[in-house]
Chains A and B, each alone.
Chain A
Amino acid sequence: MIYNIPYIAAGLIIIIGIVTMTLKRDLIKIVMGLCLVESGVNLFLVATGYIDGGIAPIFTNAGPGRMVLPTVQAMTLTNIVIGIATTAMLLSFVMIIYKKYKTSDVTEVGRLKG
């Protein structure tokens, strides 16, 4: 059970993120929800890579014990970098929308219909 806590936490964060995205009306908060989903996924990835008693895969002066294959850690780093790019772009979109429409409320923003 105790080993499952990171997974449960990751799942909860993802769900909170998706709920935020669907229920909140402010564009910034929607982007924040998306960031929460991303953090949840990152946490999940890191949690899958945890091995009890494993050591970091650095060969110089390595101590005894099983080395961890750092694939998920690399995946998480990649996703963090991608996430920064995405968030930056999304926020700049929100900025332009706010400048043009003078609002960032989705109910007032929606001009594309039909």
Chain B
Amino acid sequence: MIFEWIVQNSPALLLAVPMLGAFAVPLMGRIGEKARDGWVLLVSIATLIIAGILTNEVLTSGTVVYTFGAANPALSVPADSGGIPFRIIFAVDAMSVFMAISASVVGFAVFLYSIVSSARMSGKDSFFALILLMQVGILGMVCTGDLFNFFVFLEINSLAGAALVASRVDKGVAVEAGLKYAVLSTLGGLLVLFAVGLLYGQYDALNIAAIADVMQFGMPEKVALVLFVAALAMKSGAVPMHFWTPDAYSMAPSAVTAFLVIASQASLYGLFRIVFTLYNVTLDYAAMGWIIIILGVLSMFIGVTMAIPQKDIKRLMSYHAVSQTGYMLLGVGVGLAVLGDENMMRAFGMTAMEGGIFHIINHAMYKGLLFLTAGAIFYQAGTRNLNKLGGLGHSMKWTMLFFIIGALAIAGIPPFNGFASKLLIYESVFIFSPVLSVIAMVVSILTLASFVKVFHSVFMGPRLPEYENVTEVPKAMLYAMGILAFFVILFGVFPQQVIDILISPAAMALADQGSYISAVLGGN
């Protein structure tokens, strides 16, 4: 009975649980430290379970449509509305649950980690409340079927993210990074809102499916598309607008950085959703595909070349995050470039999209893992400077092991998950354009070189006198890293199963605009 109720209302609960949890954190903080930590973990496990239930529901019985305020959640178009779905509707398809489940898994690891790693910080009540709110923002962005609602969650996500980046004031430097992030995300958010306003003025609707159904590609739509792409590409950290990424990622507490990666990917999801579901073949898909491919290739190459000379371990990893975002853009961009051509789509377009989407979850796992190991190093050694670190391998064996797993995964070495998704991208992109595939491989090699350098300068060498007393990090932090490492290996060893269960439906959901529209508007 109660279980059925949960299943039926899972899209709403997915947001309600972390949101209520977030606002209850300060209350729990009144009772005690233990109570608050337990509460935060409980909320995040509950969110993970609901995400799992929703995933199961979507993968077995198709897109779940949840209408807020309607007598029956499935009733998206009321009889007396004249065919306009004016209520706020969540349209959760395979792509949405894919993002939701990766956000929840990383979220859980992040909470487990930050309960220990933030132990020396003050103001933990608001810290945890903000992380939970950021999770709400991410989950809302990926689940909503309404453009304005998307903007609201984007803002929740940005506000919470900026506050978290600045949370460890660090003589003002972290606040500077937070300010940069907040200004850019707010500007991006306003551009998105302006674009939403343009589309509303044109079609009198805010629902993605309702607009997509009647989309004509005229001048206002072109302006809206440019604004959407510019704003969301900036939020996801693609190259011409990537400059906030290293600052924000490196100055945020490590657990938060692992989550900021997910926040960026939610914007990436938004970009794909807008291009594929809202516009689809009405736009000049070949040109748009090439724009995304070029953004991707630039991100890959500039990201990795900027990463190599970095001295700060988290700054270096942040540039790698930019570079890895390029792979996702490349894979999905190739899919978009051949969207209208059924033969090419079947030959390699679908595989490219699967590769790009698979890379999203893989990146979330291994990048999260790497940032958590960087946090562990900072937690024990007190510095992030690669020139000062050294010889930590003697005392932090587990952290070293997790770092190796993450580093090999990001470089695309089998049997880790990075290899599985990169191979899909290489194969399919090679048929499309061999040059792009070669660039992608070169970038992988440079990534490996860069991480070998980090590994050598942090863990190798003799035991340094200043790190004489360094010990392994507390258990909870190791468990959090272990969870992510487990998924890194699991996805690397059984890539085909993961693709069949999660990735293929997600790629199909993106490419097939018709099924999304009919799921929301009821087949008319």
Closest to B197 in A: A45
Residues of B bordering A, CB below 8 Å: 86, 148, 152, 155, 159, 162-163, 166, 169, 171-173, 175-180, 182-183, 186-187, 189-190, 193-194, 196-197, 200-201, 204, 206, 246-247, 250-251, 309-310, 315
Nearest CB on B from A4, distance (A): 12
- CB < 8 Å neighbour of A86 from B155, B171, B246: B155
Residues of A bordering B, CB below 8 Å: 14, 18, 21, 27, 30-31, 34, 37-38, 41, 44-45, 48, 69, 71-72, 75, 78-79, 82, 85-86, 89-90, 93-94, 96-97, 99-101, 109-112, 114
Name the B residues within 8 Å of A111 (CB-CB).
173, 176
Whether A14 and B194, one on each chain, are in contact in the complex, defined by CB atoms closer than 8 angstroms, is: yes
Q: How far is the CA of A78 from the CA of B169 in the complex (A)?
A: 30
Name the B residues within 8 Å of A79 (CB-CB).
193
Nearest CB on A from B428, distance (A): 35
Name the A residues within 8 Å of B251 (CB-CB).
112
Q: How far is the CA of A94 from the CA of B176 in the complex (A)?
A: 8
Chain A binding surface, main DSSP class: helix
Task: Given A72-B200, A112-B251, A114-B315, decide whether A93 and B155 contact each other with a Cβ distance below 8 A.
Answer: no
Q: How far is the CA of A97 from the CA of B174 in the complex (A)?
A: 9
Task: Given A71-B200, A72-B200, A89-B162, decide whether A96 and B190 contact each other with a Cβ distance below 8 A.
Answer: no
Nearest CB on A from B101, distance (A): 28
Closest to B193 in A: A41
Closest to A85 in B: B159
Q: How far is the CA of A34 from the CA of B197 in the complex (A)?
A: 18
A-B contact pairs, 5 of them (CB 8 A): A21-B183, A75-B200, A90-B183, A93-B166, A112-B173
Task: Given A101-B172, A112-B247, A114-B310, decide whether A37 and B179 contact each other with a Cβ distance below 8 A.
Answer: no
Task: Given A89-B182, A114-B310, A114-B315, decide whether A100 and B190 contact each other with a Cβ distance below 8 A.
Answer: no
Whether B169 and A82, one on each chain, are in contact in the complex, defined by CB atoms closer than 8 angstroms, is: no
Q: How far is the CA of A32 from the CA of B163 in the complex (A)?
A: 19
- CB < 8 Å neighbour of A82 from B155, B179, B201: B155
Name the A residues within 8 Å of B177 (CB-CB).
112
Closest to A74 in B: B148
Nearest CB on B from A61, distance (A): 23
Name the A residues within 8 Å of B175 (CB-CB).
93, 96-97, 100
Name the B residues within 8 Å of A69 (CB-CB).
86, 204
- CB < 8 Å neighbour of B187 from A34, A44, A75, A99: A34
User: Given A75-B200, A96-B172, 15 other A-B contacts at CB below 8 A?
Assistant: A21-B187, A48-B197, A48-B201, A69-B204, A75-B148, A78-B152, A79-B193, A82-B159, A82-B189, A93-B166, A100-B169, A101-B172, A110-B176, A111-B176, A112-B250
Name the B residues within 8 Å of A96 (CB-CB).
166, 169, 172, 175
- CB < 8 Å neighbour of B86 from A71, A72, A75: A71
Specify which of A27, A86, A93 lies most central, judged by the most chain B CB atoms within 10 Å of its CB. A93
Q: How far is the CA of A72 from the CA of B205 in the complex (A)?
A: 10
Q: How far is the CA of A112 from the CA of B245 in the complex (A)?
A: 11
